[in-house]
Chain A
Amino acid sequence: MSNITTCIKTLGRGICIITGASKGFGHTLAQQVCSLLESGSVLLLVARTGTLLQKLTEELQSSTSAQQLVVRCIEADLSTEEGVKETVRAAKQEDVKDVDHVLLINNAASLPSISHFSSFINPDEVNSYLFFNVTSALTLTAGILQAFPPRPGLRWTVVNISSAFALQALPSWVLYCTGKAAREMMFRVLAAEEPNVKVLSYSPGPMDTEMQEEICRLTGACYDLLPCQEPGAKLMKLLLDNNFISGSHIDFFDA
């Protein structure tokens, strides 16, 4: 039998930032990414709810202590300028020696009012939704790009947690579709501009999260739900293989 050299792919020695990390898909991604980051990496978990975040941070820190990963939580409201700036500040402060990968996962999102188009007459309501789901992803991404300027030799990955409804219109879901479509284009522009950054819009499918529970409760549309680990694992594989074309949209259900 010949010698087989196994090449174990990792996400490198990185600084990884995950927003909306306290529960649902973000929580799962935090757990999965940990085992793929090399010693000396830093994982920054961002969310609004401090207590849940703290719990996750402690859990991950103890399970990865052997790996010498640093796991930090940042309690920040990303719908505010202060929240975004605080996150960028915290990231900048991490002195990751010889970092070879910056990985930003824009996962934080909110569920809007699910109702007919013509019910949205109040600009404040629409703005509030778009500011959190679109503006904060843009300004946070820009802030992190400035904190860790892309250059040849540094692996830089931005993930946009998207949806099938970024591409397909769904009645009664105007705000959600509009926000996701906006993000999709935003990240495509980024991909077109930055040759040293790989951008992926990833649609994870319907998962067993609180958000999906809320959808089921509000609309009666209750799907067969995926456990978060499955779409999470596919995303990890995409990141490890790193073969995707920057700016593309990949769905969990794609072959």
Chain B
Amino acid sequence: MQRTWNSPLGQALCIITGASRGFGREAATQISRLVSPGSVLILVARSEDDLRTLQAELTESKAGKAGLVVRYVAADLGLMEGVESVVKASKEASSDNIEHLILINNAASLGDVSRFTREFTDMAEVNSYLSLNVSSSLCLTSSVLQAFPQRPRLQRTVVNISSLCALKPFPSWVLYCTGKAARDMMFKVLAEEEPTLRVLNYAPGPMDTHMQDEARVKTADLNVRKSFTRMAANGLLLSCEESCAKLMKLLRENTYESGAHIDVYDV
């Protein structure tokens, strides 16, 4: 790969889900500065308006002006059509010059943290959660890997935005913990199967986002809620920018063990 000091990720095709806000938005912004001109960014989320705004910003940015192509796909990744539309857009925007495929599985939801495990009797609710947070990332990743198969001079990187919750149970967070634990395992299996792929489970830490706000307000477990409130009050929440910079460092250095779970505080 033609990595240069100012384009360490080379000529890349980057697909980022949940790109409309929070960590996903930050990832799109930071990655745009690390790829060489002629690279392609595919922004995916459900909210078309937010995606359009971000696309405009990035197109106007230094990277955009230097030739970064920015496209967006408003899609529901829980549906096969949604996954297909992302793959289609990626294939259309791609070219033979692409030497690095980067897929960042970031889209996620918190689930209802105002209830305890014994209150989850609604199958439709749990199914809907697993569909969005587990199934869709599996199907999107598979489809993208099928569309961009392994070939010489193409590095393929798959990132799973994970969490401490993938490793540690949090009272009143059953859906989120279950989904994150499922995803970590899923991507570990992928890493085992495909030694040519670079697979990273990245836990970004507690960040100052809408998701965090929701967690602070809604969490049923008193201890968990108190610790989030304390973190916010003591300025211990990370900005998306800080955490994302660590992810970018990991991608730039590219020395992580494929399939590993790396936490922001490990970097």
A binds B: yes
Quote the shortest CB–CB distance from A27 to chain B (angstroms). 26
Q: Please determine whether A182 and B182 come into contact, CB atoms closer than 8 angstroms.
A: yes
**The 10 A-B residue pairs with the shortest CB-CB distance in the complex, in nearest-first order:** A185-B181, A181-B185, A182-B182, A169-B188, A188-B169, A145-B118, A126-B135, A189-B169, A171-B193, A174-B189
Q: Please determine whether A130 and B120 come into contact, CB atoms closer than 8 angstroms.
A: no
Q: Please determine whether A143 and B121 come into contact, CB atoms closer than 8 angstroms.
A: yes
- List residues of A (107-142) whose CB comes within 8 Å of B's CBs: 116-124, 126-127, 130-131, 134-136, 138-139, 141-142
Q: Please determine whether A181 and B184 come into contact, CB atoms closer than 8 angstroms.
A: yes
Among A88, A121, A127, A170, max chain B CB count under 10 A is at: A121
Q: Please determine whether B181 and A174 come into contact, CB atoms closer than 8 angstroms.
A: no
Q: Please determine whether A126 and B138 come into contact, CB atoms closer than 8 angstroms.
A: yes
Given A139-B123, A169-B188, A186-B178, A124 and B80 touching (CB < 8 A)? yes
Q: Please determine whether B169 and A178 come into contact, CB atoms closer than 8 angstroms.
A: no
Q: Does A190 have its Cβ within 8 Å of any Cβ on chain B?
A: yes
Q: Does A81 have its Cβ within 8 Å of any Cβ on chain B?
A: yes
CB contacts (< 8 Å) of A88 on chain B: these are: 121
Q: Does A247 have its Cβ within 8 Å of any Cβ on chain B?
A: yes
Using CB atoms and an 8 Å cutoff, list the residues of chain A in contact with chain B: 80-81, 84, 88, 116-124, 126-127, 130-131, 134-136, 138-139, 141-143, 145-146, 166, 169-174, 177-182, 184-186, 188-194, 247
CB contacts (< 8 Å) of A191 on chain B: these are: 169
Q: Please determine whether A119 and B126 come into contact, CB atoms closer than 8 angstroms.
A: no
Given A181-B182, A186-B117, A192-B170, A120 and B191 touching (CB < 8 A)? no
Quote the shortest CB–CB distance from B40 to chain A (angstroms). 21
Interface of chain B, main secondary structure: helix
The distance in angstroms between the C-alpha atoms of A193 and B191, with both chains bound, is 33
- List residues of B (178-202) whose CB comes within 8 Å of A's CBs: 178-186, 188-194
Extra A-B contacts (15), CB below 8 Å, given A120-B142, A186-B117: A81-B123, A84-B123, A122-B80, A126-B135, A130-B130, A130-B134, A131-B127, A138-B120, A142-B119, A143-B121, A169-B185, A169-B189, A181-B184, A189-B177, A193-B118
Interface of chain A, main secondary structure: helix
Q: Does B211 have its Cβ within 8 Å of any Cβ on chain A?
A: no
Q: Please determine whether A185 and B169 come into contact, CB atoms closer than 8 angstroms.
A: yes
Instruction: Give the residue name and chain of the A residue nearest to B184 (CB).
Output: A181
Q: Please determine whether A123 and B78 come into contact, CB atoms closer than 8 angstroms.
A: yes
The distance in angstroms between the C-alpha atoms of A88 and B259, with both chains bound, is 40
Contact of B171 among A122, A166, A189 (CB under 8 A): A189
Quote the shortest CB–CB distance from A175 to chain B (angstroms). 8
Can you report 13 A-B residue pairs in the complex whose CB atoms are below 8 A from each other?
A: A118-B142, A123-B80, A126-B135, A131-B123, A134-B130, A134-B178, A143-B121, A145-B118, A146-B118, A170-B189, A182-B178, A189-B174, A190-B118
Given A123-B78, A169-B192, A192-B169, A142 and B123 touching (CB < 8 A)? no
CB contacts (< 8 Å) of B143 on chain A: these are: 121
- List residues of B (142-181) whose CB comes within 8 Å of A's CBs: 142-143, 145-146, 166, 169-174, 177-181
CB contacts (< 8 Å) of B66 on chain A: these are: none
CB contacts (< 8 Å) of B116 on chain A: these are: 193-194
